[in-house]
Copies of this chain bind each other. A is one copy, B any other.
Amino acid sequence: MDVDKQPLRIGLIGFGCVGQGFYDIIQQQPELGLAVTRIAVKSPSKPRTLPAERFSFHADELLDDPALDLLIEVIDDPAEAFRLVSAALRQGRRVVTANKAMLARHLPELVQLQAEFGGTLLYEAAVCGSIPIIRTLDGYFSHEPLHAVSGIFNGSSNYVLTRMTEEGSDYGPALAEAQAKGFAETDPSLDMGAFDPRSKAVILAAHAYGVFLNPDEVLNLGIEGIGAVDIAHAAVQGRKVKVVAGLYRLANGRVTALVTPQFVGPESPLYAVEQEFNGVVIEAKYADTQFLRGRGAGGHPTGSAVLADVLAIQRGFRYGYAKQAAAPEAQLTADLEVDAYVRHADAGVLREALTWLELPAKALQTDAHGAFATGPVAVQQLWAWRKELRTAGIFVARVGEVRPVAVLAPGVTKAAVLA
């Protein structure tokens, strides 16, 4: 390194997959002039690839160290991550994070803290790992009206679905394989329950539409209830089951968000996004349809995204959130309808699900692969019964676009309209 040039002194909070990946990359590129001068981790006893004296066990020591030019937060715990990142921004610091759950929950405050104290927060690694989707939406598409931004944002569940599709296997063995290969966590509920891609959709909404959503108000349905039979039902139609996280501009000008399994045909670029890969489709008014695909996880791909943020901060880059000034209203569950596929192996449970979702008995069908139901379902009903659907292991997938529905006149029931 040039002796005249001071390296950028980085404080790294967290040394798991992403932290270690980032550390590896910059060790291999000394010409970048970046130095990880302090690393904070939680557990003093965990075996690590660096000598113990390299670590601090109190992240607050890094916050208190004025010699650090930039902080990177890559820990698991969203509450602790928010405490650290918000404290750093209150000091006007430059911060990079990859914590999507934390961001989805606190983005408005974090944007506010940057405005108030002059710090900068970048988080490209939080959504779709190595794919530069946030800066593409925030910068390149800053003023482009977007019809939709949708994609496969969770590599773990996509890996499980790909294995089930390729091998005809059931959910349990496919999940076990994903866990054995390190593509799924020991507690898979955030990934398989579609909580993780929901966080990512909420983050993208801020950049694609200038809309700050509360993740708790966005419907997410997972794949815990999926079986080989559902893959087979999709295949009969020439489609695959994918967990699609989507932001959609509705015909009424509002924006909705939905994260659910979906039957996806080969006309969609998402059909070909397999294994642990991620993909995003941007449907733009003028630029037309764009598609990006890349690795959504892994130490090096995600570490590379963190590095890109560090270098961008050095160049003075910050997100513009340009669409915030004229953001559309959100319409998350009310007065929306989607064509759904609903299945459970137990006929009694399936019939009960039909009553929850206000589907008529004629929605029930049986084919060589077994019984299921299809029909238009109010997103409100899916929302109202989401916990019961999950607990009962009922598999629900979208088979068409989400759309606003006309509000029924007083006294007119949906059953009467459908009859």
Residues of A with Cβ closer than 8 Å to B? 21, 25, 29, 31-32, 124, 130-132, 135-136, 139-144, 269, 272, 284, 286-295, 298, 300-301, 303-305, 307-308, 311-312, 315, 317, 320, 326
What distance in Å separates the Cβ of A337 from its nearest Cβ neighbour in chain B? Answer: 30
A291 touches B288 (CB 8 A): no
B301 touches A143 (CB 8 A): no
Residue from B287, B294, B307 within 8 A of A288 (CB atoms): B294
Of the listed residues A31, A135, A286, A315, the one surrounded by the most CB atoms of chain B closer than 10 A to its CB is A286
**Least CB separation from A34: chain B residue:** B143
Contacts A143-B311, A320-B315; is A294 near B294 (CB within 8 Å)? no
A135 touches B143 (CB 8 A): no
What distance in Å separates the Cβ of A131 from its nearest Cβ neighbour in chain B? Answer: 7
Separation of A135 and B139 alpha carbons in the complex (Å): 10
Q: Residues of B contacting A32 with CB < 8 Å?
A: 143
Q: Residues of B contacting A304 with CB < 8 Å?
A: 144, 284, 286-287
Q: Residues of B contacting A131 with CB < 8 Å?
A: 290
B295 touches A143 (CB 8 A): no
B284 touches A289 (CB 8 A): no
B292 touches A287 (CB 8 A): no
B290 touches A303 (CB 8 A): no
A289 touches B300 (CB 8 A): no
Separation of A208 and B25 alpha carbons in the complex (Å): 18
Contacts A135-B140, A136-B136, A312-B139; is A301 near B320 (CB within 8 Å)? no
Q: Residues of B contacting A300 with CB < 8 Å?
A: 286-288
B294 touches A293 (CB 8 A): no
- Complex A-B: 24 CB contacts under 8 Å: A21-B286, A25-B286, A132-B140, A135-B139, A141-B308, A143-B307, A143-B311, A269-B272, A269-B293, A284-B304, A286-B300, A286-B301, A286-B307, A287-B294, A287-B301, A288-B298, A288-B301, A289-B294, A290-B292, A290-B294, A291-B291, A291-B292, A291-B293, A291-B294
